[in-house]
Amino acid sequence: MEQSLKVLINESVSALQNLPLGELAKAINIIQSVFERDGRIYIFGNGGSLALATHWVSDFNKTVFSHNLSSQSRRFQAIRLPSTESELSAWANDVGFDMVFAGPLQNYLQESDCVIAISSSGNSVNVIKAVELAKAKNVEVIAFTGFDGGKLNQLADAKIFVKTEPGRYDTVEGVHDVILHVIIKYFSDYFDYVCSKQPKK
């Protein structure tokens, strides 16, 4: 059993060690630029990726600023799409499941924003439709993918690609979650530094 566990853990470790760090840096720069121009970050995905998207919203909007909630008046504006389960079911039932992200996104999206699209396969039709909408509006896209990257990896401006065998959702989603926390820690440290340089009131 211990050997089997070691193999599984090493798969995740290897995936982390082979991450495209240049693309991760590009994603961080996109997010930083959106913050500076007071834009919004729209995040979405299916299944486990939807859970990750929900987690991202909490960490972007609050955790990044945990040490500076009183001093940092401007914060990230991260929004999970759809923002409610009733909206998700309405789009899925009335229009089609392929529009559960693109439909709500069309209501809000501005050129000052960015999109974070999460899809292990990179080929989820509803994710691709929302990304194509963003690209048509000249909005930058950060993609989190796995397997072979799929169509999403081809469309994205920043490609966070966790290369695995097809179907390895466990490894891909686990690594995506680690990357989330790396980005959050980066920005938490950044705003700690920025706030430490502000004059005391």
43-98 per-position pLDDT tens digit: 999 999 999 999 999 999 999 998 887 776 789 999 999 999 999 999 999 999 99
Give all domains of the chain, ordered by start, each with its CATH number. 2-196 (3.40.50.10490)
Q: Is the pTM of this model over 0.85?
A: yes
12-51 per-position pLDDT tens digit: 999 999 999 999 999 999 999 999 999 999 999 999 999 9
Q: Which residues contact 63 (CB under 8 A, 6 or more apart)?
A: 184, 188
- What is the SS3 assignment for 81? coil
> Exposed/middle/buried for 172, CB within 10 Å: 0-12, 13-18, 19+?
buried
Q: How far is CA 54 from CA 2, 58, 155, in A?
A: 33, 7, 23
118-149 per-position pLDDT tens digit: 999 999 999 999 999 999 999 999 999 999 99
Q: What does residue 13 show for φ and ψ, rounded to 5 degrees?
A: -60, -45
